[in-house]
Structures are given as C-alpha cells and as structure tokens.
Copies of this chain bind each other. A is one copy, B any other.
Amino acid sequence: MTIALLETSPPRMQESAAARVERELRASIIDLTIRPGERLSESEIAERFQVSRQPVREAFIALMRQGLVDVQPQRGTVVVKLSVRRMLDARFIREAIEVAIVRRACERFDAHYRDRAASLIEAQETAARAGDHLGFQRLDSLFHITLAEGADCAEAWSAVEMQKAHMDRVCALTLHSPGSMGPLVDQHRAILNAIEDGDGERAVAAMSHHLSEILRAVAGLDLAHAELFE
C-alpha cells in the first residue's frame, strides 16, 4: 500500500555509515529501484557510498534479517525476488497485529491521536484529489502508525514494519491509477469511525477489509513482470 518514506526521511544526527547505507539500500529495494534478483557487491556498494566494506557488510546482514537480501557465504549477495507467497505471509502477520491494535483502540484511544488520525485522513483526501501518490503513501503509513500509538501499541508497529516492506515491494509494481486512492481514504474513515464508536467488531472488520485490498492487486501483475518473481 505504501512505501517506506517515513522511516527513510529522518537523516538523524550523527547517523552511522552502516545505518545510512542500510536505510538507503532498504528504500531502493522496497521501491524496486534495485531490481529483485540483482546481485549486490560489498565492494561496489562501498565505492558508491564512499565508505569501506565493513559498514556495507553490516547493512547487508541487517537487510538479510529483514528478508530483503540473501547473503550466500563466499558466493555473493542478491536482492531476494518478489514472492506472492512471502507477500501473503506478510499480509497475514500484518493483519493479525493491526486487527489486535484496532481492537485495543476501541477500548482506549488517546484523544490527541484521534484528532491526529482525523487530520491525516483529511490530508489524504487532499493528496488523493491532487493525485499525489508519494504523499499519499506517506500519509497512509502515518495513519496506521497513529492508530498504533493511540492504542499504546508502538512496539507492535515495529513488528508490522518489517512485514510491510514485503507488501510495499509488490505494491510498487501496481500502476497507481488516479482513482485508486479514494477507496482507501474511505476505508481509513470507516476504521476511525468504528474506533470512535468503540465498536470492536466493526473496527476489526474494517481493518481486515482494508488490508485485503492488496489481494486484488495480485492477480493482474504476475505475467507482466514474471522475471521479478521467484
């Protein structure tokens, strides 16, 4: 649904070289700037980022733990290909956690975050009308994070983030038609409304429905980019 713009943006103070390489490589892998199946060389990346091999190696290991690259000892490192199976697994895990989040949100949801979520929906409406895909994706991510924080589940979101990457990578393939963002805004609104009403079952159903949108994108893209899939 979204690409990782949020965790990409803050070039925090004194970011280590390893963290910088990992952050930038991760973003490129998720938005498919680096193609699935492509070989990555420690030396080449090190030269490109003007650092030594060591921080690059640490970035590779971190990306391997996230399931984004495959480090084969003494052979090489490759960006893992897209996988419908892996995407469905990620969706399953994400839905499990986010459903639990909204269920808890129906019991207690901080008022400040409720207002923030509402204003984010407004901003999404604007971005959708303007056809601003990148902005919309960033706002989408912020909306989900806000739900987690409002329900006091910030830690749970970090667990979602890893899975989200595998969904975003597949979504980066789908062509973003102008009208595709509107329904998503409505779904966000339905989720927030249910939370405000404290209606757990409705909130769960709304979130589940929302996260099932990606299933519709699966059918149409397999053949067009077969070489990117395993």
A positions within 8 Å CB-CB of B: 14, 16, 54, 58, 61-62, 65, 73, 86, 89-90, 92-93, 95-97, 99-100, 104, 153, 155-156, 159, 162-163
Contacts and interface: CB of A to CB of B under 8 A. Distances in A.
A62 B62 CA distance: 8
Contacts of A92: 100, 104, 153, 155-156
A42 to B, nearest CB: 14
Nearest to A66: B65
A93 B62 contact: no
A16 B153 contact: no
Nearest to A101: B96
Contact of A93 (B58, B90, B155): B155
A104 B95 CA distance: 13
A96 B54 CA distance: 38
7 contacts: A54-B54, A58-B61, A92-B156, A95-B100, A96-B96, A97-B97, A99-B100
Contacts of A153: 89, 92
A83 B29 CA distance: 34
Contacts of A155: 86, 89-90, 92-93
A212 B54 CA distance: 44
Nearest to A54: B54
Given A61-B62, A65-B65, A89-B153, 4 more contacts: A16-B73, A86-B155, A93-B155, A93-B159
Contacts of A99: 96, 100
Contacts of A95: 100
A193 to B, nearest CB: 22
Contacts of A14: 73
A104 B91 CA distance: 14
A58 B86 CA distance: 26
A211 B16 CA distance: 39
Contacts of A62: 61, 65
A159 B65 CA distance: 11
Nearest to A14: B73
Nearest to A96: B100
A86 B92 CA distance: 23
